[in-house]
Amino acid sequence: MRAKLARINDAPDLAAPTGSAELIRGREHFTRIIRDGLLKAKVSVDIATADFKAMLIPEEGLTKPRGRRRNEAPSIIERFRRMTERGVEIRILHSGVPSSPALRELRASLPVGLTIRRCPRLHMKAIVIDMNAMYLGSANLTGAGLGAKAEHRRNFELGIWTTSADLIDGVLGEFNAIWEGEHCSACQRKDVCPVPLEEPELGE
């Protein structure tokens, strides 16, 4: 567990959130959250998503791959690999089995510095970047939610981009509780709880 997360839950429960908040709509999810946010993380990224797919991320400055087949654009897994190679720690908490393309990439070579766990009860969606900026909204880690799909093909999504330390601490507090299994002893869905995908070869 990263020592820098020790401050989580220090804020009073009823503290009024402070810091900026910005409404994120539609295509802004890709430009604001992925391109200008997640991909520029310097220390850590914590992701909560119900659905996890190997969405494609066009190179900087492009909204889609030009003059190339779509499947030649780097996937989010490859982007994670590049991020971990420069020292960024990434945690992904999700609820189901990743898409087949995502599993294939993860099983071929799990990026060092990327850790994945699953909880079938998880439905929240959040991305915390460097512990000082956060997306909280409806979008999953998929092309239709956070990717660069065309205007009339992407989901209708809404969310908030915030630098509020109180909100970030609150979300990370809940994230860490699920991540560390604090709810597991009383959980009534153990019959469908999968093995955490820390070693993709164990996933079915």
Is 50 exceeded by the pLDDT of residue 118?
A: yes
Confidence grade of residue 35 (pLDDT, cut at 50, 70, 90): very high
Confidence grade of residue 5 (pLDDT, cut at 50, 70, 90): very low
Q: What is the pLDDT of residue 7?
A: 42
Helix count and strand count (H, E) for the chain: 5, 7
Domain 19-63+72-202: CATH architecture, name and number where available = 2-Layer Sandwich (3.30)
This model's pTM is above 0.75: yes
Among 52-56, 95-99, 137-141, 192-196, the range scoring the smallest mean pLDDT is: 192-196
Tokens found for residue 69: 């087949």
Q: What is the pLDDT of residue 61?
A: 53
Q: Give Cα 50 to chain centroid, integer Å.
A: 10
Domain ranges of the chain: 19-63+72-202
Dist CA 103 CA 85 (whole Å):
20
